[in-house]
Structure 1
Amino acid sequence: MGKRLAVCAVAQIKNHPDYHYLRFQNMLLECFESIMEQTKVTFDMEKGIRTIISCSDDMFDARTISDNGVTDVMGAHFRGEEKMAQESINGLGYAMACILSGHDDVILFMGHCKESQGESRRMISNLAYDPFYCRPLGMDYHNVDAMQARAYMEKSNVTDEHLAKIVVRSRANGKKNPYGRENKIVSEKDVLNSPMYSDPLREMHIYPVTDWAYGMLLCCEERAKEFTKNPVWITGYGSCMDRYFLGDKDFTSNFSLKNAAKRAYKMAGIKDPKKDIQVFELSDHAAYQLPMWAEGVGIAEEGRGGRWIDDGGMDKFNVNLSGGQLNGNPLLLGGAARAIECYYQLSKQAGERQIKGAKRAVAQAATGGAGQHQAVIVMEA
């Protein structure tokens, strides 16, 4: 059994503010049919897909057992099917474990989320906190991120003007992404004048409500050429969970991301990410997270996020050429979106976003308030 996980094909629908006219099944079917067409894979129990991994959430879907209504669309009847009710990037880690252990050869990985249909995504993320203290206080991912933003911006000399630059760049890059959410192009002045959302974060500093679905075909190294001429390889994966209770953690330490990145880099043989990696896709739910996560993955110096932005670090290290999560991906699916963009870059399918000579890329994703859980994957052409 080889030591690399092959990404043989990816498919996605366009990120959209409100797919009220599509059911989850419709969203996934388009991706499913594309994967079948690209790879000609079958569901033969000996040589085809025997395991399907899905990513969805009961709260966003407003139904118990959110995968129950979509197993038929994914071909998951009468075979192994596992649902990830967490950040989608961990589905890639799970698939890696299944395949590199020899348990499976081929895995179909699909996910969906409609943030638009809930009354409030803040009500949903409020449920992540304990029911006795933090939940009654009204804690949710956004106001907890604001607490982290305040601490981080002070530590790393990141200003409101820096955040405005990040938002403007995100939307400009998102316009170049054919699957990117359609957002209004704005100026730094527009961002600086946008209403306060949760101090110090403004409305434009937060990723917009988004609906999306995707699919990926993953397989072992030995069989990759059965499904594609040019596989992209996942060579490293690492994850780490920080403390649950907010009062127990250092908001500015990047503890979980540093550990996740260290593990992924070690597995992939990365010595210096600044030199060894050509593309970075970071899941910035809020604008301040882009420089903070850049520090965590090792391309910005600790406590110098503001200077890193001033020195052109975002473009120097090819960070979030897709527009990033800040341009619009659903909360659960940001990691899959980051990995798919890395796939496009490494397979030379990124269009006008293409980085010439890209050989390695990093995708990062976070979930939980203040980046509680972090995961990083390394991908190679």
Structure 2
Amino acid sequence: MSDRVAIVGVAQTRFSPKRADANVAELAYEVIEKVLNDTGLSIEKDIDNTISCSHDIWDGQTISNIGITDVAGGHLRTEEKMAMDGSTAAYYGTVGILSGEYDCTLLLAHTKMSQTNRHIVNNDAFEPIYSRQLGLDFTSAGALQARRYMHAHNLSREDTARVVMKNLGNAMANPLASRFGYYGMDDVLSAQMEADPLTTMDVAPDVDGAVAMIIASESKAKKITDAPVWIQGLGSCYDDYFLGDRDLADCMALKKAAALAYKMAGIKDPVKDLDVIELSDEFSYQELLWLEGLGVCKPGEGARLTESGFTSREGELPVNPSGGVLSGVPANVMGLNRVAEAALQLMGKAGERQVQNAKRAVAQGHTGFCGQHQCVIVLGNQ
């Protein structure tokens, strides 16, 4: 068994509204080739397991990983699939190495959102008798959660707009981002309404892209790189399926997932013990709510932290210095992208979006409507 697991390589495509030049297999090949070249590893000699993250409905075919099995090195070799979010692929791959079953695992997440319509895809996530017939999707469910959360803590649209302004400003330093810019309050508030209170600026855009990562056991990682990023803690939890069975102003699953990850990593106070957070802000309000779930602040205080600059790239605890999901990261990919961006920070390879002296980070991914399933991963470079 391996005592520790490390991230030894990361590769990402540029996220684009439409990659008409590449199908999903070509997107996968783009990042797999890069991460193998960067690490000097080969699938035949070094990789003993591949885990991909994709989704049948997004890809338009049953067993969606069948389209990338060859480029991921799965021919007559071990290859597994996770669905819905890449953070769970990182979780699952880490467990496989810790168990002693594998030594070096290739992780992959890919989606071409331009191929279909997100509202149709996400509507299928709801139970078929009642909720699906109402036409609910992740955006309309997110609007319900946003309204409930804002009402519970007397928050305004200006409070959520500041998240958009911060993250899209951060994305100006990220060459992979699809949406970026220095926006003012009026720009965000006057944008077209998607589902009240969420405008197009409050909702992550549809994009195409892929992320690849290689994780390895401690002994192998030290042979590959002088700057491994250690996976120090893991946690995951599901909340109730029916929206009506949950308090949407709370995030129970994230609190439990974070508690598990923090205990494993030995984190007592996330504000003092962490240097950067990369979380999945599929909608603007989620950054505020997820900060509560991650134990960074008390209920309703996330907006104040954002307004004060506490979570800015130059602040006490930078949140989404990459620009986050609001800057454009595909469904299924966004969780692995969060892990990748956190790892790049700890490797000192984040370029212009680098947080100085970052030693410990948290990456958070979620799946399902209103953050139904949560995954938290603690990373460190020491």
- Which TM class, normalised by the smaller chain length? over 0.9
**In structure 2, how many angstroms separate the alpha carbons of the residues matched to 1:100 and 1:64?**
31
2:129 to 129, 132, 141: 132
Residue 206 of structure 1 pairs with residue 203 of structure 2 = yes
* 1:107 maps to which of 101, 105, 108: 105
> Who is 1:372 aligned against?
372
**Does the alignment pair 1:122 with 2:122?**
no
Structure 2 partner of 1:10: 10
* Matching of residues 89-104 of structure 1 within 5 Å: 89-104=87-102
Task: State the 1:310 CA deviation.
Answer: 2.6
| 1:146 equivalenced with 2:143 (yes/no) | yes
How many residues align? The count is 378
Give 1:40-59 correspondences, 5 Å limit. Answer: 40-44=40-44, 48-59=46-57
Per the alignment, in what secondary structure is the counterpart of residue 6 of structure 1?
A: strand
Is the Cα contact below 8 Å between 2:179 and 2:326 reproduced in 1?
no
Change in Cα spacing, 1:102 to 1:186, as seen in structure 2 (3 Å) is: same
Match of 1:283 in 2: 280
Report the alpha carbon displacement of residue 34 of structure 1 after superposing the two structures with TM.
Answer: 1.1
CA deviations 1:160-207 (Å, max 9, x no partner) are 112222112211111101111144543211111112111111111000
For the Cα contact (< 8 Å) 2:106–2:212, is it kept in 1?
Answer: yes
CA shift, 1:61, in A, is 0.8
2:262 alignment partner, SS class: helix
**Conservation of the 8 A alpha-carbon contact between 2:250 and 2:289:** no
Counterpart contact for 1:366–1:375, Cα < 8 Å: yes
How far is 1:36 from its partner?
A: 1.7
How far off is 1:24 after superposition? 1.1
* In 2: Cα distance, 1:308 partner to 1:172 partner: 17
Aligned-residue sequence identity (percent) comes to 43
Contact 1:107 1:217 in 2 (8 A): yes
Cα distance in 2 between the residues matched to 1:301 and 1:282: 17
Q: Counterpart of 1:295?
A: 292
SS of match in other structure, 1:270: coil
The superposition leaves residues 4-31 of structure 1 with CA deviations (integer Å, 9 ceiling, x where unpaired) of 2110101111011111221112211121
Partners of 1:306 and 1:345 lie apart in 2 by 24
CA contact (8 A) 2:84 2:331 kept: no
The one-letter amino acid of 2:213's match is M
> RMSD in angstroms over aligned alpha carbons?
1.2
**Structure 1 residues not aligned, in runs of 5+:** none
- Give CA-to-partner distance per residue, 1:62-104, whole Å, 9 cap, x none: 1121111111111111111111112110011101110000000
Q: Distance in 2 between matches of 1:30 and 1:123?
A: 28
After superposition, residues 150-229 of structure 1 pair within 5 angstroms as 150-183=147-180, 185-229=182-226
Q: Distance in 1 between matches of 2:320 and 2:217?
A: 28
Q: Within 2, Cα distance between the matches of 1:328 and 1:158?
A: 25
Q: Distance in 2 between matches of 1:324 and 1:219?
A: 26
> Which is further off, 123-132 or 222-231?
222-231
Secondary structure, in 3 states, of the residue corresponding to 1:309? helix
Report what 1:79 is aligned to: 77
Q: How far did residue 313 of structure 1 move? A: 2.8
Q: Does the aligned pair in 2 maintain the 1:239–1:260 contact within 8 Å? A: yes
Partner residue in 1 for 2:341 = 341
SS in 1 for 2:296: coil
Contact 1:157-1:306 at 8 Å conserved across structures:
no
> Secondary structure at 1:336's aligned position in 2?
helix
Q: Measure, in 2, the Cα distance between the counterparts of 1:35 and 1:205.
A: 32
1:18 maps to amino acid: K
Residues 233 and 377 in structure 2, CA contact (< 8 A), matched pair in contact too:
yes
Counterpart code for 2:353: R
Would you say 1:31 and 2:14 are equivalent positions? no
For residues 261 and 3 of structure 2, what CA distance do their matches in structure 1 show? 13
SS of match in other structure, 2:187 = helix
What amino acid sits opposite 1:216 in the alignment?
M
Deviations 1:344-371 (A, max 9, x none): 1100011122122111000001111111
TM (norm. structure 1) is 0.96
| Structure 2 residue 309 is matched with structure 1 residue 312 | yes
Q: Distance in 2 between matches of 1:51 and 1:344?
A: 23
Distance across 1 between alignment mates of 2:369 and 2:140: 8
Which amino acid in 2 is paired with 1:361? A
Question: Which residue identity lines up with residue 50 of structure 1 in the other structure?
Answer: D
Equivalent residues of 2:257, 2:375 under 8 A apart:
yes
Secondary structure in structure 1 of the residue aligned to 2:371 = coil
Per-residue CA deviations over 1:284-321 (Å, capped at 9, x if unaligned) read 00000111101110112222233222332322310000
- Alpha-carbon distance between aligned partners in 2 of 1:117 and 1:95, rounded to the nearest angstrom: 28
User: Deviation at 1:330?
Assistant: 0.9
